Amino acid sequence: MLLELNNIFKWVTQGGNRVFLLKHLDLAVEQGDFLSVMGPSGSGKSTLLHVLGMLDDFNEGEYYFQGEPVHGFRDKQRARFQKEHIGFVFQAYHLIDELTVYENIETPLLYQKVSSSERKALVADMLDRFGIVGKKDLFPAQLSGGQQQLVGVARALIGKPRLLLADEPTGNLNSRQSREIMELFQELNAEGTTIIQATHSETNAAYGSRTLHLLDGSWTSTPEP
């Protein structure tokens, strides 16, 4: 078991009332899963991914990652787990505009105390694999959306995470670019990376090994184990 959520609640207080973002949520993800989370806009997909990615807190419930209780972690521990095991891909790419492709991909390694020669090798591999060697000195603004998302994925993978979290990764891309990214995900999954993606599109969800539906912060059907 890679991770497990037990009865997770997350809410915000607005005007004295609790507004639930996640409600009574259970989830179990095995190593090697490729999970697609679907649901209308505002249903809580992003919130869920942030919780899973340890970027955001939750108010109640338990979260085990590789058997370790994330709900009991201190900030430092959480940050360490996050940077060692989790990679993110965003709908809006979220590349650093002032850095080149090469430097963007390299960034996570800077926070993991990887030596500079090793960094060079890892980034070179990644550029090669994604076929963007020729673009390495360009800035994000000089790339198409699909290419930017490729860089985003490369950056998410450079630290060799166990879990790849992708929040509507193709939301800003055309269908051909979407297909390329999804095929890439499938490949990665086949190589052993666990992937959880949030998506609007049935087509994209179909690339996953299973799909869950979220509505107002709860599953619409009980998730199968």
Partner 1 sequence: MIRNYLKIAWRNLMKHKAYSLINIFGLAMGAAICLLIVLYIQSERSVDAWRTDADNVYRMALIRKYPTRQSSYAIIPQSFAQTVKEELPEVEQAVRIFNFINNGTLQIRYGDQKFEETKVLLADPTFFAIFKSNLLYGSEEKALSEPNSIVLSERTARKYFGDPARAVGQVLIPELNDEQPLVVSAVVADWPEASHFTFNALVSTAGLDNFEEENYTGFSAHTYFRLHAGASPEKVEAAMPGIIRKFAAGSIQRSFYMPIDEFMAAGNGYTYFLQPLKKIYLTSHLENELRVNGNETTLYIFGLVAIFILFIACVNFINLATARASERAKEVGIRKTFGSERRMLIFQFISESFLISLLAMAVAVALFALLVPVFNDISGKEFTFAALASPGAVALLVVFTCITGSLAGIYPAFVLSSFSPILVLRGRFKSGSHGRSIRSGLVVFQFAISVILIICTLVVNRQMDYMTGERLGFNTEQTVILERTDLLGENTRAFKNELSAIRGVLNVTGSTALPGQQNYFGVSWSTPDKRNEPITGRGILVDEDYADALSLELVKGRFFSRDFPTDSLGVVLNEKAAAELGLPDDPIGQRLITPEEFLNGPEGTEKTYHVIGVVKDFHYQSLHEPITPLVFTSGAPFNNVLGLTAIHVETGAMEPVLSQVKEVWSRFVPEKPLTFQFLDQTIANQYDTEATARKVFTFFSFITIFIACIGLLGLAAYTTRQRVHEIGVRKVLGASVGNIVLMLSRNFIRLVGIATLVAVPVAWYFMYRWLQNFTYRIDSSWDLFVWASAISLATAFLTISFQAVRAAVQNPVKSLRTE
Q: Which amino acid is at 74?
A: R
Q: Please tell me whether residue 120 binds partner 1 under the rule CB under 8 A.
A: no
Q: Please tell me whether residue 12 binds partner 1 under the rule CB under 8 A.
A: no
Q: 29 to 58, contacts with ligand ADP by CB under 6 A?
A: 39, 41-47
Residue 33 interacting partner from partner 1, Mg ion, ligand ADP, none (CB closer than 5 to 8 Å by kind): none
Residue among 14, 98, 117, 222 that touches partner 1 (CB under 8 A): 98
Sort strands 68-69 and 218-219 into parallel, antiparallel or unpaired.
unpaired
Q: Please tell me whether residue 10 binds partner 1 under the rule CB under 8 A.
A: no
Q: Please tell me whether residue 46 binds Mg ion under the rule CB under 5 A.
A: yes
Residue among 39, 146, 159, 169 that touches partner 1 (CB under 8 A): 159
Residues sharing a CB contact under 8 Å with residue 45, sequence separation 6 or more, in sequence order: 37, 38, 39, 167, 168, 198, 214
What are the angstrom distances between the C-alpha of 54 and each of 18, 25, 37, 75, 135? 22, 16, 17, 10, 32
Contact criterion met (CB below 8 Å) for 212 and 223:
yes
What does DSSP assign to residue 59?
S
H helix intervals, the chain: 45-52, 75-85, 101-110, 116-129, 145-157, 175-190, 202-205
Residue among 3, 21, 157, 196 that touches ligand ADP (CB under 6 A): 21
CB of 46 to Mg ion, least distance (A): 3
Q: Please tell me whether residue 36 binds Mg ion under the rule CB under 5 A.
A: no
What are the angstrom distances between the C-alpha of 212 and each of 144, 149, 179, 203? 31, 24, 21, 14
Q: Which residues would be at the binding site for Mg ion (CB under 5 A)?
A: 46
Q: Please give the residue ranges that form the binding site for partner 1 (CB under 8 A).
A: 46, 50, 53, 55-56, 79, 82-83, 88, 90, 92, 94-99, 103, 106-108, 110-112, 155, 159
Residues that bind ligand ADP (CB under 6 A): 12, 21, 39, 41-47
